[in-house]
Structure 1
Amino acid sequence: MIRVLLVDDQPLIRAGLRMLCDAEPDLEVVGEAGDGREAITLAERLAPDVVVMDLRMPGVDGISATSRILASRPAIRVLVLTTFGDDDHLYPALTAGACGFLLKDAPPADLLDGIRRAAAGDGAFSRDVLRRLVDRAMSSRAPGPRNDNLTARERAVLDLVGEGLSNAEIAERLHIGVTTVKTHITALMTKTDSPNRVRLALYAHQPR
């Protein structure tokens, strides 16, 4: 069971997130916080597996809360869920230790997948955000050769990861199950020595 703490200053948003999580047999909402200060207190007391963190909140904001939560409990995974996808919010959140960055207009399936991936030690990013991270990383480094000891299906999955598609979108595009996509991505991470999805997306853009 994945223990989730919801942090957002809007009660309606929290209620919607709770309903979404409560419908899943492997997710348990253990608490809700309306601001960063309350999030810090609850994270310390409840020790959730994943904190779904808003960024703009009164008092202590989500970036400060993320940094303070992880300083106290580094095993907690913080998944940002925000309306603001610009670099002024993205990079400070990642610097604070967030493992993923999703926008509030993301499909519910992407959020649920993101919570599960965060709990498993992976990152979760909205498509546009992932593409920006890849573009910025590629512009600052010389890409090395791509060692493609991959099957044709793995190459197809890898290319779609590089485009920033979610697991559900890859499954739909390739007409396979989401579980199969997850299996391919796990194999790809092993074969390419990529510890997370961002590194895998970077690998997808390296020349063959």
Structure 2
Amino acid sequence: MRRAGGYAIAALRILLVDDHRVIADSLARLLQDDPAIQVVGIAATGPEAISLARLLRPSLVVMDIGLPGMDGVEATWTIRRQCPDVPVLMLTMFEQDAFAIDALRAGAAGYLLKTATPAELFHAIHAVCEGDGLVYPRTATAALQRAVPPRSRVQDPGALSRRELEVLQLVAGGADIAAIGRQLMLSPHTIRNHLKGVYRKLGVRGRVEAAAYAVRRGLIKP
């Protein structure tokens, strides 16, 4: 708990992940200026981030991409599978769309550049923790905006049928169309039709994107 104006408030518990300790410590000091934020841990590698996420169950992981060995995207994918209640905000120097798209498809709830102002960083942290997510840098291009469709294009996820959810769950588990068909005793053509229905209802364009979206929204188990 932190105190602001004499009142006790529940702090957002943040896990920072950056292999440059000076940067991580500076970021921790900056975040402590917000009485609603508490930095509960700092990790320097992907495996360390995964371990601390499981142990601490923070409100949010603020993740760099350029980590030694296991990069931040792979670490994010693992954290989202093992700790689906823990969102991840990418904070990185990489401006290229490809990095942002990979991070979002891995399950990151937001993507922000290290050139962001403190106010933008605080806004992104609170937005992601409140479930808004999808915080893009100002320079986001049309390609990045298409990586995760805006909410206005997404139908009610509850509109997914039981069979569509079954197919989506198997996709998230890594099964291909043939394997899904064998398990559900359906033809590949029928599986493709179910997937088309999923894509249309979720407003996504492929299996990886559909699975990542469904895990983030809690529609299926990671």
* 1:16 pairs with 2:29: no
- Partner of residue 137, structure 2: 126
Residue in structure 1 matching 2:64, options 49, 54, 64: 54
Q: 1:97 aligns to what SS in structure 2?
A: coil
Separation in 2, partners of 1:48, 1:129: 28
Q: How does 1:58-137 map to 2 (within 5 A)?
A: 58-123=68-133, 124-129=135-140, 132-134=143-145, 136=146
Whose Rg is larger? 2
Residue in structure 2 matching 1:29, options 39, 43, 50: 39
Does the CA-based 8 Å contact 1:101-1:129 persist in structure 2?
A: no
Moved more, 93-102 or 82-91: 82-91
- Partner of residue 54, structure 2: 44
Does the CA-based 8 Å contact 2:97-2:141 persist in structure 1?
A: no
Separation in 2, partners of 1:99, 1:53: 11
Does the CA-based 8 Å contact 1:79-1:101 persist in structure 2?
A: yes
Task: Calculate the TM-score normalised by the size of structure 1.
Answer: 0.63
Separation in 2, partners of 1:37, 1:87: 25
- Percent identity of the aligned residues? 44
Does the CA-based 8 Å contact 1:37-1:59 persist in structure 2?
A: no
Q: How does 1:184-199 map to 2 (within 5 A)?
A: none
Separation in 1, partners of 2:72, 2:16: 12
Separation in 2, partners of 1:132, 1:108: 26
Cα RMSD of the aligned pairs, angstroms, is 2.1
Give the partner amino acid of 1:95.
Answer: R
Gaps of 5+ in 1: 145-208
Gaps of 5+ in 2: 1-10, 154-222
Corresponding pairs, count: 140
C-alpha displacement of 1:131: 5.3
Give the partner amino acid of 1:126.
Answer: P
